[in-house]
Structure formats: structure tokens, C-alpha cells
Structure 1
Amino acid sequence: MTWTESETETVAVTADDGVVLWASRSGAGEPLVLCHGGPGLWDMFGDAAGLLADLATVVRWDQRGCGRSQRCAGPWTSERFVADLDAVRRHFALDRMALLGHSWGAQLALSYALAHPERVSALVYVAGTGIGPDADWHEAFVENFRARLGDHPERLARWQELTNRPRRTEAEDRERAVLQWSVEFEDRERALEYAGRMADPWFAINDECNKALNAERKRVWGTPELYAACRSLDVPVTIVDGARDIRPRTAVDSLERALPNVRRVTLPEAGHMVWTNDPKGFREAVARAF
């Protein structure tokens, strides 16, 4: 199904267990469904969707319990989130769709493609961390994060102060998130400005969701079963990396080696927020993917 209108349509999608998910559709062309990062966050793809509006019908959604979607008690599992993504597909009457996932959303999009390859025309895997164990990347990420935020010692000190507080106000939660997200932008002079845009509008971070899905990744990622499933995936995959991402890009080598039909695009001047750091390179990579 191809959407031909240029307006943005905002809808409520009901999952098979009754939880209501926020979703929107804009642009024109073949369907491209975006999976946002987190876990526990919400769709922040406004700028990316604008870059792609003339290439595809762009569908965005907030994952369950997050952002504009209904607050609920979970369950917080990849299987449940894959089912929610399928509910989005059905709502928009898509027989097949291209998927683009960013960060944690790249993991979710990959999980969906592994579960339902016949429903995925192409997968764009952006700024993920591969299919190996956390040991492949997490320690280096933490070290790089502290070094990057430490370029502004007052920001690091404030982030540590807020992180160590047993309770924070909503305003303090937002301040902490903006400081944390600022490390993802290569334009260091405008990093806080860009991170502030990510936090506008602000919704409470779902910490329970974040902890549960990260714990699941630690149990499941890096297993022989996952490597075998990726080796059998009959879907064209484009991996898009920002070379300056503070998550080591070598972690993604595990995924690239396993996939039978893969192309990898590394944008040398981009970090984790690829479309902000290099909008032209990001748009070209996505345009070639489907």
C-alpha cells in the first residue's frame, strides 16, 4: 500500500492486548516504518522524517508505555514489542514494509525482521550495537561517554549530581537527559541545543521498560541461536554507521559478518544521531536501501 498524501496523519493503534499506541504517517511513496531508540523513550524522528518525506510514506510510532502511547505495565519484552510493531503494520494495511531502526530501535527492527521476514522489504539498521554480547561495546561506550561529557567539566559534574540523586523532579529528569544526550552530537557548540530539541516535547522516561529490555539483551544477544538466525535472514539490510559514534563501530561487525545480504555505509563525520550530523549522507544511504 502506498500513501500519496503529504499531510501528517496522527492515529491511535490498538495492540492485540488492548494497549493503545501513538502513531503518525506522512510523506509519499512506499512505506517506511521507523523504530525509535531507548528503550523507554519515544519517537524523536521529526527531522529524519522531514528528510525522507519525498522518498517514502514515513510511519512513526511511540513504543508501548512510552511517550504519547498508553502508559501500561508492560510486558517489557522484545517479543511483545515485535507484536506491537506488527499491530502498527496491520493498522496501516501494509502487506510489506521497509523498516528503519535507530540505536535500540535498530535491535527491535532486526528482531521483527527475524520473526517476520516475509513482511519486510528492506531493513535499515542505524547506529546499533551489533549482535554480540555487551562486552563488545559497553565498557568502551561508558569510557567515551565520560570523556566526551568531560570536555565540559561543569556538565559532567552536574550530570553526576543529578544521576546520584535518589529522587528527581520532572525538570531535573529532563535536565539530566539533555546533558546525557548532548554527547551524541558532533557539533559541540550546539550540542545542548540539539539535545534540547530531542527533549521537546518532554515525556517521562520509562525506566522500568529500559531496565527490563536491557536485561533481556544481555541474556539473548551474543548467543549461537541469534547468529544462526541472522545468517538465514533473507532480507536486504543496509547498516548505517556514524564513524564518530561513541559506541565502538566494531561491535556491529558481528552483524555484518552474519548477514547474507548486507551493505554497510559509514559516514565519517557523523556520530550517533546520524541524520543531524550528516543529513545528506543519511538521506542518500536510506534512498539506496529500498
Structure 2
Amino acid sequence: MYRFHECELDPRGFVLRRGDEQVRVERQVFGVLVHLIENRDRVVPKAELLDAVWGNRFVSDSALTSRLKDARRAVGDDGHRQEVIATVHGVGYRFVAPVELLGEPATLDPACLAQEIRYCDSPDDVRLAFAVCGDGPPLVKAANWLTHLDHEWSSPIWRHWIQWLAGAHRLVRYDERGCGLSDWDVTEFGLDAWVEDLELVVDSAGVDRFPLLGVSQGGAVAIAYAQRHPDRVSRLVLVGAYCRGRLARARSEEERQEASLDLALGRVSWRRDDAAFRQVFASQFLPDAPRETWEAFNELQRATTSVENVVRFLDAFAHIDVSAVAPKVRCPTLIVQSRRDIRVPDSQALELARLIPDSRLVFLDSGNHIITADEAAWPVLTGEVNRFLAS
């Protein structure tokens, strides 16, 4: 909740009050206000504001000008006074009114909260571990690259994600087959097995209808599940996700060679337990993060699975392809993508937005594949997802 200039704004509740009256504004107008106030420490470029509010939809500059005018009018400002929203000519816009923060977003501290870890057995006798924590409506997170329910509970890579997601939800997450607390010695690897595991975890956790979050390759699993179970998934959130793995999307011989080289390097380096390669790998996932975060990422990877399974994961990820399934998704979908992501290019986010019918794309000003707690993109990510889930 934010208080400013005789106004109160509740981003999660989509409520704007001025004095004692609730002000009704269009969704894009509200989006303009929220993005500006959440980034009030800097000038927001016009292109960023367009991406944040309209996603991948093309709109003219006049549409943005019109929404800014309506936003100023809603909070008692105008283009002459500019006491709330100032125009920085040639650069963008900045929220300049003094802001009082009325309440921090709800979070949970893992040090003070116990997660409940349970197990379920798949039809092919794979024991899967899943965890439940937090209170509120259910939220399910599909498994992604090398999770570990116990280690990530205190890891700086995922701890802030758990605090945020469980702050307002009963969060269900799990370790996919082959890693973490789930069985490592498995026969079946691949998209179909991962989707079936998600089906099993959802049923075992006793959730009926829920929003589904997919991060990285977990996005493909979430897309496939949402298509198969339109009655179960109310909303779909995809962060750093992709339709097609690196080999599946390679079209030219050069792209195929690059993808094959990346896989070959991964196989050799992981089998040799090459610390130098793991450092390169961490720098690709988290280029904007400090070295200590890279080390935490490496530590999490080493504790998560066997070298043999890492090689199998890399091969399976490279061949993922849900491009034929994505157009059949029927729930509202939010796609969030870091602009400078090395592991997953923005072309994949654009492809998802083009294929999934009722979708909206938001770009983050980050190079990190996994958004960290101390970067400017983190409150943007949480704000966008919170509003989407609450709407």
C-alpha cells in the first residue's frame, strides 16, 4: 500500500483512493501508476513503460500519452504542475511525489516457518518429494533445473522466491525425478514423464483449481499441464520460460553446431567435475549477480543430483518442444522475461506470447535467468505477478 498526494494505492487489490473516494481507472492507467511508483527511485524510459503495461502488444506513443494524462487526472495532478508524475523530456517519466509505504508485501521467513515435506510414488516406481508451506489459496510451482527442497529453503538463490510465493499462498513445490529429495535412479526422463509427475504431485497435495508457475524449463512442463487440464489451472505464470529447447529451435547448421557444442561442453565438464566450467555456467545464469551468488548457485547444483543425471537433463532440455501445445492453453497467462538473459533469449518469450492466446508479456531490466533479491528487477517481477494473480 502506498500513500501519496492525498491518495492511497493498493497494487494487489487494484484499488486507487483519493481522499475518501475510490477512483475508477482503466487497467492500463492503473498499470502506469503502479510501475512508476514501484520504480520511483529513477526515471522510467518510455519503452520500459510501454513493455510493462502493454507487453508485446504494439501501441502508439499517443496511447501512452493518453494513459499518462488519465493517470495524472486520477491522482489530482496535471501536465503543468507535475507534482506526482514528472516528464523528463527525451528520457521518460518519474514518480516525484513523496511516498509513504503503508505495508510491506507479506512474506514468510523460512527460519521461523517449517515446510512440510511429503512423498508420493509414480506408476513407474519413482518416489517424488514435494513440499507444502504457507497459508492462503493454493499456488503450484512446476519443478525446474536442479531443485532441492531442503537446500533451497535457505539458499540465497531461491529463499526470497519461497518467502514471496508463500507469503499469500499455500505453496506447493517439488523436486523433479532425478534430483533433490526425489529418486535419482530413474529410467524415464523427458517432458511426458515430468508432466505426469506434476499431475501426481497436484493430486497428492489435494489441490483442485490453482494458478501454476513455471520457471525456465519448468515453463514447458507448466504449459503442457495447463493444456491437458484446463479445468485445474486458473492462471499461468511463465518466468524465463521457452517453447523449444536449444536443439529443437535450431534452424541453421550454425545454430545446430552451437547447440551441440554447448551440450558437448556441458557433458565433458560435468563428468570431469570441472569447477571452472561450473563457474562459467553460473555466470551465464546470473551474470548480474556478485561472485558469492555464483558460489551459492554452484553449491546448490553440486548437492542436487549426480553428474550422470545432469548430462541427461541437459540433453532432455535441448529437445523440449511445446510449440504445438502452447496455442491450446486456455487460461490467462503472464510471461516474464529478462531482457539480457543468456540462457533463454528473448525470442523465446516473444514466441510464447505469440502462441498462447490470452497472454501478456513483461520484460525485466536484468541479465539474470533467476532474478535475485537485491536487484531492481525483483520488485518489478513480484509486483507484476501479484497483480496478475489478484486480478
Task: Sort the TM-score into its range (normalised by shorter chain).
Answer: 0.7 to 0.9
Contact 1:127–1:242 (CA under 8 A) maintained in structure 2: yes
> What are the Cα deviations for residues 194-218 of structure 1, in whole angstroms up to 9, with x where unaligned?
122234441234135315523542x
Q: What CA deviation, in whole Å up to 9, does each residue of 1:49-75 have, x standing for no partner?
A: 112221211112110121211123331
Q: Which residue matches 2:281?
A: 180
Counterpart of 1:134 in structure 2 is 249
Q: 5+ residue gaps in structure 2?
A: 1-111, 153-157
What is the match of residue 105 of structure 1? 218
Contact preservation (8 Å) 2:223, 2:322:
no
* 1:268 Cα offset (Å): 1.5
Alpha-carbon offset, residue 256 of structure 1: 0.7
Number of the residue aligned with 1:196: 295
What is the percent sequence identity of the aligned residues?
27
Superposed, 1:235-254 pairs within 5 Å as 235-246=331-342, 247-254=344-351
RMSD of the TM alignment (CA)? 3.2
The answer to which structure, 1 or 2, has the higher relative contact order (CA under 8 A, 6+ apart) is: 1
Q: State the distance in 2 between where 1:234 and 1:197 align.
A: 38
1:210 aligns with 2:309: no
Amino acid at match of 2:243: G
8 A contact 2:349–2:361 mirrored in 1? no
What TM-score do you get using the length of structure 1 for normalisation? 0.76
Alignment partner, residue 151 of structure 1: none
**Shift of the alpha carbon at 1:129?**
2.4
Determine if the alignment matches structure 1 residue 23 to structure 2 residue 130: yes
Alignment partners' CA distance in 1, 2:317 and 2:267: 18
- Secondary structure of the residue aligned to 1:289 is helix
Deviation track 1:11-62 (CA, whole Å, cap 9, x = no partner) reads 1222233311111111222211112333xx2245333111222121111211
Q: Residue type of the partner of 1:184?
A: F
> Alignment partner of 2:388: what SS?
coil
Question: What is aligned with 2:326?
Answer: 230
How far residue 185 of structure 1 moved from its aligned partner, in angstroms, is: 2.0
Q: Normalising by the residue count of structure 2, what TM-score does the alignment of the two structures yield?
A: 0.58
Alpha-carbon spacing, 1:75–1:8, altered in 2? closer, same or farther (3 Å): same
Change (3 A) 1:178 1:119: farther
Q: Do the aligned partners of 2:130 and 2:175 also contact (CA within 8 Å) in 1?
A: yes
Task: Give 1:270 deviation, angstroms.
Answer: 4.8
Contact 2:353–2:359, Cα closer than 8 Å, also in 1: yes
Aligned to 2:383, what secondary structure does the other structure show? Answer: helix
Higher-Rg member (1/2): 2
Aligned length: 257
Structure 1: gaps of 5 or more residues? 147-159
Residue pair 2:126, 2:186 contacting (<8 A) in 1 also: no
Worse-matched range after superposition: 194-203 or 244-253: 194-203
The residue aligned with 2:54 is: none
Shift in alpha-carbon separation, 1:116–1:165, aligned structure 2, 3 A: closer
Deviation (angstroms), 1:126: 0.7
AA in 1 matched with 2:184: R
